[in-house]
Amino acid sequence: MPNIVLTRIDNRLLHGQVATQWTKAIGANLILVANDEVASNKMRQGLMDMAAPTGVATRYWTIQKTIDTIHKAADRQHIFIICESPEDVLKLVEGGVPIDKVNIGNMHMAAGKRQVAGTVAVDDKDVDAFRALRNHGVELEIRKVPTESKDNIEKLFS
């Protein structure tokens, strides 16, 4: 079974805050960005690689490749999965990726979304995905950085 130390939803994907604070706090040595668009965009991958800490490997896989390949991970790989949306995380879980905890970091405000926490805005589709994740037994937390306390997750559903 893959050693997934944390899965995070952040529509910025891999950036400085994720790279420096979260990776160190959770002891990850592999950052896996599971995102269909980034998997084929070498320029975005290059920019994200610049943010990755020294000594931490990066992978940029589609959602399907993550589902198909993650079970081949070595025990020594402490994997930090980053997804753009709750829908992508739900696809991973329903595809058999053993995710038991999801950190909700950044979900930008956009048309049709409502702000539920400082850096988290959701629409009905997001809420449905969070409900489904919770029904799968996945623990959800809203927290921007590891040093902050967790926000009330029920804000997502009100």
Q: Show which residues are catalytic.
A: 15
Cα gap 86→52, rounded to integer Å:
23
- Tokens representing residue 3 in the block: 């050693």
Cα gap 20→151, rounded to integer Å:
21
- Tokens representing residue 111 in the block: 């048309």
Query: DSSP secondary-structure letter at 123?
Result: -
Per the listing, tokens 């696809």 go with: 91
